[in-house]
Amino acid sequence: MKFSRCAVAIASLTLMGIAQQASAIQVIGDNLEVYGVLYPELNNTSYSGSSPTGTAMSSMTKGLVTPGTGTASAGAITKDQTNWSQSYVGVKGAKTYGDVKIGYDFQGVLAPNKTVDSSIATGGQQSLFGDMRDAFVSIGHKSIGTFQFGQMDTIYKEYGDRVRMLDVSSSNFTSTSGVLSGVGWKGATGAGTTSFNTRIGSQVRWESPSYNNINAGITVRKDPNRTATQDTSLSAAALRWTDGTYYVSVQQETHNNYHSFSGTGLSALSATTIYNLATANSKDTGQRLSLGYTKGDLRLAADFATLKYTEEASAVGKFSSYTTNTYQVSADYAANAQWNLAANFASGAAGSCEVMGGGACSTVGQGGTLLSLGAKYNLEKNVGIFAMYGLNKSNGSATFASSAIGGNTTNLGLGLLVKF
């Protein structure tokens, strides 16, 4: 949806909270595009299963649960809610100066149920928009490619997972990213993310022009709060080829000092855990191969990843590394003009771990799977009604989509998709 009036641009940006004073905004470009993807969904979630008393826990979870006791499900075992997932409204524009193109793109995530303050029950307000999704400016040249500055997907995330279920899987229960790009164990207090499905700010991303259907990309994110001893940074690189029918891409991403296992809170070593001191440097890497096929009404995709998490062990018997392999397959088929059918399956292996000194480190019970099925009835090209089913299964020592170790999570969703 395009508008040529600056007043519309100002109103849109102000609504999203990008600017506090609309009169101070000058919009570049001959046209402003206002666009969005909305998919509110009635969601029923049920939880079942957990590690029963007496089940031996993996030593990877040592310190998170007591070996041999298990953890039962806590709180509600079912819940119903309206879930907006990553529904968003965006504004973007661009202007060309010869071979140079300057652009911008801002996306506000819809969060109609988000409480602005804790006094909601006594007159507080709710917010229409939550966090920003993408928020960046760009500069490109046809010969050297495009640089983007701000918050966006890393190139690792951007070039993989080519079939998103029914166009509503982003942050939804059908998203394969939790299994494909993450792990089933949770780190200690103060631990950073274990996920390689990363959207992050303070990022510089470069994408090359296309040469013989080949593109390359690089992401660099320096730590704005780095110290002499700790520098939490991210880097990624990717290469892809596509002829419109077939798609092949390889990606690699590195997280430095995310402290994803031992966290940042431990100042003295404990004999009962394999956690390292907060000063231990860490390095996590994700490597992935992504494949895609699009022909007529059929879309297929597959991803195969190796994730590795390492730390400089503080003493013998403390955590050194964990490695696992994951994969996902996805399909979307347009049966006719009205109906789309989709399915995906993701699996994460138990993996292997090492502790300093070569002692025993078990990953028994790690890993899990996700199975999703969905259908969408298209009222028109950009409006449809969808229904989905998802089942997350966690192995005995793992946690996927549930706080219960070894628990399973079943989701049912019915929603409306509107794109403009």
Which CATH number characterizes residue 185's domain? Answer: 2.40.160.10
Closest CA to 202 of 227, 223, 218: 223
User: Using an 8 Å Cβ cutoff, are 5 and 58 in contact?
Assistant: no
Separation of alpha carbons 96 and 351, rounded Å: 50
Separation of alpha carbons 400 and 315, rounded Å: 30
Count: domains in the chain: 1
Identify the pLDDT of residue 42: 97
Contacting residues for 274 by C-beta, under 8 A, at least 6 apart: 59, 60, 62, 63, 317, 318, 319, 355, 361
Confidence band for 132, pLDDT divided at 50, 70 and 90: confident
- For residue 230, give its domain range: 2-419
Identify the pLDDT of residue 129: 63
> In this model, does residue 342 exceed pLDDT 60?
yes
Separation of alpha carbons 374 and 168, rounded Å: 10
Separation of alpha carbons 266 and 314, rounded Å: 11
Identify the pLDDT of residue 189: 84
Question: 418: helix, coil or strand?
Answer: strand
State in Å, rounded, how far the first CA of the chain is from the last one: 7
> In this model, does residue 140 exceed pLDDT 90?
yes
Closest CA to 349 of 387, 285, 305, 408: 305
Q: What is the mean pLDDT of residues 109-133?
A: 61
Mean pLDDT score of the chain = 87
Identify the pLDDT of residue 170: 92
DSSP state of 65: B
Alpha-carbon dihedral sign for residues 174, 175, 177, 178: negative
Separation of alpha carbons 50 and 70, rounded Å: 8
Provide the greatest CA pair distance for the chain: 70
Question: 12: helix, coil or strand?
Answer: helix
The count of other CB atoms within 10 Å of the CB of residue 21 is 8
Identify the pLDDT of residue 91: 95
Angle at Cα 201 formed by Cα 195 and Cα 204, nearest 5°?
A: 105
**Torsions phi, psi for 214 (to 5 deg):** -110, 135
Identify the pLDDT of residue 379: 97
Count of positions (residues) in the chain: 420
User: Using an 8 Å Cβ cutoff, are 41 and 172 in contact?
Assistant: yes
Confidence band for 27, pLDDT divided at 50, 70 and 90: low
Identify the pLDDT of residue 2: 53
Confidence band for 5, pLDDT divided at 50, 70 and 90: very low
> In this model, does residue 317 exceed pLDDT 80?
yes
Q: What is the mean pLDDT of residues 35-48?
A: 95
